[in-house]
């Protein structure tokens, strides 16, 4: 359970809250998947996906800031080739890998990018990678993540987000792009507040906390 230490307070990360409040149907599906492929294989896949995600975020940030990309490994290259063309639609970059927190609802996280996307200013952008194409029904947590960050941006910088975009790199496919309008973001904001409330209604062992300075 990741907690950010900010101004002497500990804020759970957005992903920690989402993980701790997953619907039972999702938890059951994950258990069935682990049992089907084996716990060790599932762990290897999880660690591999984490490493790939970190590499992809570093590449996207470097590209947006016109920095040297560095080595692109064979493990990451198919996802990068999928997502790279979409990055040309991002302009006027205001923030990348920006840590944010919401002092009222008490959560924190790190947004991927805040920029103009497809001509729309003040777009909050999140980069993902996946072995298969996603259906919007499967990525509710992605939508909750971006609205959580957008609310934190409003609290900290008094900037209103006009839309949010989730960009997913998929090998051998054009990147998938899911856009949330401001109206849709308001719908997911209510769902996110419910998840935060659910999280704080539970008690957790302090020994599970991993602090991120």
Q: Give the chain's domains with CATH numbers.
A: 2-199 (3.90.320)
24, 104, 126, 193: which is the annotated catalytic residue?
126
* Distance set, CA 111 to CA 20, 108, 128, 132, 166 (Å): 20, 10, 12, 23, 11
Closest CA to 166 of 197, 202, 134, 120: 134
- Decide if 128 is catalytic: yes
Which portions of the chain are predicted below pLDDT 70?
28, 33, 41-42, 45-46, 207-208, 213
What is the pLDDT at residue 31?
Answer: 75
- Decide if 133 is catalytic: no
What is the pLDDT at residue 207?
Answer: 67
Burial of 97 (0-12, 13-18, 19+ CB in 10 A): middle
What is the pLDDT at residue 38?
Answer: 82
User: Which H or E run contains 159?
Assistant: none
What is the pLDDT at residue 33?
Answer: 65
24, 84, 104, 112: which is the annotated catalytic residue?
112
- Decide if 77 is catalytic: no
128, 137, 206, 209: which is the annotated catalytic residue?
128
Model pTM score: 0.90
């Amino acid at each position: 359970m990741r907690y950010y230490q900010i101004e002497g307070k500990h804020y759970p990360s957005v992903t920690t809250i989402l993980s701790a409040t997953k619907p039972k149907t999702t938890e059951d599906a994950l258990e069935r998947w682990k049992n089907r492929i084996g716990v060790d294989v599932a762990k290897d896949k999880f660690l591999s996906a984490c490493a790939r995600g970190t590499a992809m975020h570093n590449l996207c940030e470097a590209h947006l800031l016109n920095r040297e990309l560095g080595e692109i490994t064979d493990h990451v290259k198919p996802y990068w080739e999928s997502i790279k063309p979409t990055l040309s639609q991002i302009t006027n970059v205001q923030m990348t890998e920006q840590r944010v927190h919401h002092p009222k609802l008490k959560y924190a996280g790190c947004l991927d990018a805040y920029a103009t996307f497809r001509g729309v200013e003040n777009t909050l952008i999140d980069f993902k990678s996946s072995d298969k194409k996603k259906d919007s029904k499967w990525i509710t947590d992605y939508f909750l993540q971006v609205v959580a960050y957008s609310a934190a941006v409003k609290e900290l910088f008094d900037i209103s987000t006009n839309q949010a975009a989730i960009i997913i790199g998929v090998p051998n496919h054009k990147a998938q792009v899911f856009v949330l309008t401001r109206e849709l973001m308001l719908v997911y904001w209510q769902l996110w507040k419910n998840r935060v409330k659910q999280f704080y209604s539970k008690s957790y062992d302090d020994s599970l906390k991993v602090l991120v300075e």
